[in-house]
Structure 1
Amino acid sequence: MASAYRQAREASEPAAVHDGTTKTTVMDSSSSMSVSSSSSGPTTTTPRSTALGSASSALRTVTGTPLVVAHDVPFNWVDGLPYIPTRFADLADPQSIQRVVALLLQATLSNTNTTTPDSTDHAPDQPPSVHSPNPTPPTSTVAIAPDDWNVIYSSFQLEQVAGGITNTLVRVTNLSSFFDPTTTPDSVLVRIFGAVGLIDRDEETHVLARLAVRGIAPAYYGRFGNGRLEAWRDGMRALATYELGEPDKLVPIAREVARLHHTHLHDIDRSDADNESTPQNNDNNDSITSTHEPTLWTQLYDWYDQALVATASTKSVTLELSSYRAELDWVRSLTPPDTPIAFCHNDLLAANILYNDNPDPTDPRVIQLIDFEYGGTNYVAFDIANHFNEFAGGPPTHPVPDYDNLPTPAQQLLFAETYLEQEQELQQQPGATTTAWKSARELLDHVRIFALANHLYWGLWAVNQAATEGCDAFDYRTYAVNRLKQYHVVKQEYADSTAINGHV
């Protein structure tokens, strides 16, 4: 599927400016005068506490009149939803955010025939027009009348959302002031990508689209040049780190993680995926990831190579990393040959777990996993080890994790037992395979091994983040130092418990 996004970008290149911005044609609503306005490309992470309020107070104007986008904007159908590679959102320009929301939702609604038989298989919070779009040409255009932009700019409300460290998140509300509330939600989440170069956004978006169809991830509404639109989940809140160990949170989290891992969607053939670009073709392809193999080691070695360059060229990241290639080789050698793989989240910190304090009786699930940007085929035990390490805290607020807060042996056992119970229930479904875990203790033995890899994973990630994003919004360097320090602590504990010494 990555090639479909790439082809869409290549087809739109004549409209792109090579400095990373895109020229957007705008028209004065009271005259035929046209001007050229530049919308910025990928934005960097900013503090997550500022409320934008009504965007109408920050409108750009031409001779005192709000700007409006010209009628026809080209877009592509990828993963069954619109992709507009020539439009970018910028936190400093509220109108740019309002534009991508309006254009993507209008493009989605342009494909309104939804009579295909699999519509009930899609996420319930997607509008009907998103459920099962009929065959559509790979490229199309979307039009919004000039007078309608005045309504959009004055009505859509924007508020920056506290949460993750990698992306900028903005909630856009009051969409019913322009769109039909029976076909479109009143709120959406705009995700403006950060971590440029560290995440394959094409693969990530393809994964999200597939998980959203199955109700595992929030609904996905379409993508623009440097981000995408997702569902806003009313009534749910992100957990605080201290809540992760509470039984009423820990147990449903374990069940939801088992449900995620049970998808086994990495095993579905993707031989035709990169040749598909229409909604119908994409809906017939159930694949989630582009590989059947765990991505952990490829990612770790790639990040290690990037980190070596970063430490050599950036004064703000002064760490000695030359010995960590041998550490990676050693940890990889510990991988149990029979340890299960599945589609994994790989970033199950508290901020990526939504909780519903007052669930709807018709939808008793209280947990919603979000932010699958690091998701992919991986070792199940790594995903659980990562979640356990997140009990200590970390981004976006704690550069010095408190490892005294790691889950107790009793909490770890409860999580593992609950996970296996849920997995066994899921195994009763048609076509399920037998679980590879013989006991909760065996699962936790594998988790202990992958805790080593997890510290290296986020330690190297933080080195690269410090080099690319800087340390103003979050002290990535201190976080990197602490994760790599904890790696050596855990390594010694592992050596002491297994009588293995002198491997590195």
Structure 2
Amino acid sequence: MAIKEKGFVKGCLPEELKKVLRSVATNWEDVMDDMQALQVIQLSGAMTNKVYQINWPTKNGEVVRKVLVRIYGEGVEVFFNRDDEIRTFECISKHGQGPRLLGRFPEGRVEEFIHARTLSAADLRDPEISALIAAKMREFHNLDVPGPKNGLIWDRMRNWLCEAKSLCSPQEAKEFCLDSLEEEISMLEKELSQDHQEVGFCHNDLQYGNIMMDEETRSITIIDYEYASYNPVAYDIANHFCEMAANYHSETPHILDYSQYPDLEERQRFVSIYLSSAGNLHSDTEVEQLVHDVEKYTLANHLFWGLWGVISDYVNKIDFDYMEYARQRFHQYRVRKPALLGYS
């Protein structure tokens, strides 16, 4: 299969990537020397980048070495700093989390291939798998990653709002009420930010496609840290719950089904496992408080990804209806705000 983005044409790999792959291959004495023998398979479901599995045949033909190649999406530098993301990737890898970085080239990077399966939308609702995710999320939040330890969610949303305003037509700006969003963001920051809330290193995009599971060991691996930063842990859990409404592998991947949002019992179970996974005792009051905080942070999450959708429609070339996705996130914000905050 030929890759058709950024220099991947007619099955040929760009020279910079070939150099990285040859360097990686020095650790494998049994692989074939012929670069034309490589098999390239595009992996579906990525929302920001193009991701490919590269199979490298061995000389005896019995084993295939595998790596993952990530081609960076165009225009996504508006969402995060790529150099910061690489440093985060390397730091997390040193902590024993996620794949190892094997090499970089101008258009992307080569990563260790994780021999595990990517979760599906349905997996997030499986009680056993959900419990594993809760425990892994707690472990992730406890990572000590260099950088500012204060939450970045509010500043990031304000930056994205400025970008969205600069890109949108007057009609779109009116439809999405962009002129009033600064006030909404400030209101949410004041309403949601409380002294009792724990801040940890958050993934901020823990949808099913960013979670892998080894079927034999049942171990969970969290991948793709482009949006990762310190934030209130309640926000990260809220994001994960909101992602249960999505199925990015359906015929309409941009359509969200909020009937799939976890009910109160599911949310309480997830939070209870999350709090107890580090061996700490917790009270029912602590569970209820975090569940309460998480629900309120879903509002911030809707605005966050709503703005992302608006901007992505202008800068991202992946086949996805970003504007319709944004409409649904903003609509859900308006629908849920009165019940969660007590006013419209």
- How would you bin the TM-score normalised by the shorter chain? 0.7 to 0.9
Rg larger in structure: 1
Q: Does 1:391 align with 2:244?
A: yes
8 Å Cα contact 2:45/2:248 also seen in 1: no
User: Alpha-carbon deviation of 1:250?
Assistant: 0.6
1:366 aligned onto 2:248: no
Structure 1 residues 429-470: Cα deviation after superposition (integer angstroms, max 9, x where no partner)? xxxxxx999621111111112111000000000000011125
Q: State the distance in 2 between where 1:89 and 1:177 align.
A: 30
**Equivalent position of 2:150 in the other structure:** 293
Aligned match for 1:247, one of 127, 131, 135: 127
User: Partner residue of 1:439?
Assistant: 286
The letter of the residue matching 1:352 is N
Write the distance in 2 (CA, Å) between the matches of 1:92 and 1:322: 43
Whole-angstrom distance in 1 between the partners of 2:175 and 2:106? 34
Q: Which residue of the other structure, out of 196, 205, 219, is the alignment partner of 1:338? A: 196
Alignment partner, residue 268 of structure 2: 413
Partner SS, residue 423 of structure 1: coil
Q: Does 1:377 align with 2:259?
A: no
**Aligned-pair distance for 1:313?**
7.6
Kindly tell me: are residues 103 and 204 of structure 1, through their superposed partners in 2, closer, same or farther at Cα, counting changes over 3 Å?
same
User: Quick one: structure 1 residues 490 and 155, their matched pair in 2 at CA, closer, same or farther if it must change by over 3 Å?
Assistant: same
Letter in 1 for 2:35: Y
Residue of structure 2 equivalent to 1:327: 184
**1:384 offset after TM fit, Å?**
0.3
CA distance in 2, matches of 1:318, 1:177: 59
CA displacement at 1:304 relative to structure 2? 0.6
TM-score by length of 1: 0.61
Q: Partner residue of 2:310?
A: 463
One-letter identity of the residue aligned with 1:226: E
Structure 1 residues 289 and 340, CA gap change in structure 2 (3 angstroms): same
Structure 1 residue aligned with 2:301: 454
Q: Please give the alpha-carbon distance, in whole angstroms, between the structure 1 residues aligned to 2:226 and 2:104.
A: 14
Alignment correspondent of 1:190? 69
Q: Cα gap change, 1:440/1:90 in structure 2, threshold over 3 Å: closer, same or farther?
A: farther
Distance in 2 between residues matched to 1:92 and 1:457, nearest whole Å: 36
166-175 or 250-259: bigger deviation: 166-175
Work out the percentage of aligned pairs sharing the same amino acid: 27
Q: CA deviation at 1:90?
A: 3.1
Instruction: Indicate whether 1:222 and 2:103 are aligned.
Output: yes
Q: Provide the residue aligned with 1:201 in structure 2.
A: 82
Q: Is the contact between residue 339 and residue 379 of structure 1 (CA under 8 Å) also seen in structure 2?
A: yes
| Equivalent in the alignment of 1:113 | none
1:94 equivalent in alignment to 2:11: yes
Give me the whole-angstrom Cα distance separating, in 2, the residues matched to 1:400 and 1:406: 14
C-alpha separation between the residues in 1 aligned to 2:330 and 2:95? Answer: 37
After TM superposition, the structure 1 = structure 2 runs for residues 121-270 of structure 1, keeping only pairs within 5 Å, are 151-174=33-56, 176=58, 186-194=65-73, 195-234=76-115, 236-263=116-143, 265=144
Of 353, 370, 375, which residue of structure 1 is paired with 2:211? 353
For 2:20, what is the secondary structure of its paired residue? helix
Output aligned runs, 1:24-63, within 5 Å. Answer: 52=1
Matched, 1:479 2:297: no
Letter in 2 for 1:385: A
Q: 1-side partners of 2:195 and 2:245: how far apart?
A: 29
Give the 3 Å change call, closer, same or farther, for CA 456–490 of structure 1 in structure 2. Answer: same
Report the count of equivalent residues: 334
How far apart are the structure 1 equivalents of 2:100 and 2:331?
39
Note if contact 2:337-2:343 (Cα within 8 Å) is conserved in structure 1. Answer: no
Q: C-alpha distance in 2, partners of 1:229/1:444?
A: 38
TM-score (structure 2 length as normaliser): 0.88
Shift of 1:394: 5.4
Note closer, same or farther for the CA distance 1:177–1:344 as it changes in structure 2 (3 Å cut).
Answer: farther
**1:331–1:92 distance in 2 versus 1, CA, 3 Å:** farther
Q: Name the SS of the counterpart of 1:473 in structure 2.
A: coil
Taking the aligned partners of 1:316 and 1:96, their CA distance within structure 2 comes to: 41
**Alignment check: 8 A CA contact 2:102 2:111 kept:** yes
Instruction: Rate the CA distance shift 1:297–1:176 in 2: closer, same or farther, 3 A.
Output: farther
Task: Give a deviation string over 1:191-221, Cα, whole Å, max 9, x none.
Answer: 0011243221100111011111222111211
Listed as ranges, the matches of 1:113-124 within 5 Å are none
* CA drift at 1:100: 4.1
Deviation at 1:379, TM superposition (A): 1.3
Deviations 1:216-238 (CA, angstroms, capped at 9, x unpaired): 1112112111211111122x222
Letter in 2 for 1:232: F
Distance 1:314 1:169 in 2: 35
Other structure's SS at 2:226 match: coil
